Amino acid sequence: MAAPQSVTLDQVLDLAELLPPEQRMTLAEILRKRDLDIRRNALIESIQEARDLFARGELKRMTVDELMEELNS
């Protein structure tokens, strides 16, 4: 398989404008869902990292006030 070519956002938008309206809507929905998946996966990774840190004793329980105090110090 050939290496992917570099494409600019303007090129993608120009190509998207060539699609029929229904396909443009489908493309927008696919992109929205993929973005949600990416954000969901990043959140899952962050939660897992925090759980691992807590399990190793490197992260302690604290209240929101304690957290804010630590962040501001």
What would the pLDDT profile of 8-24 be if each residue is shown by its tens digit?
Answer: 999 999 999 999 999 99
pLDDT of residue 51: 94
| Closest to 24 (Cα-Cα) out of 38, 12, 10, 8 | 12
pLDDT digits (tens, 9 = 90+) for 23-35: 999 999 999 999 9
pLDDT of residue 45: 98
pTM of the model: 0.67
% of the chain with per-residue pLDDT over 90 = 85
70's tokens? 């630590």
Q: Are 59 and 50 in contact (CB under 8 A)?
A: yes
Q: Please give the backbone phi and psi of residue 57, each rounded to the nearest 5 degrees, phi first.
A: 80, 15
Alpha-carbon distance 44 to 47, whole Å?
5
- Domain ranges in the chain are 22-72
pLDDT of residue 3: 66
Q: Where are the alpha helices (DSSP H) in the chain?
A: 9-17, 21-55, 64-72
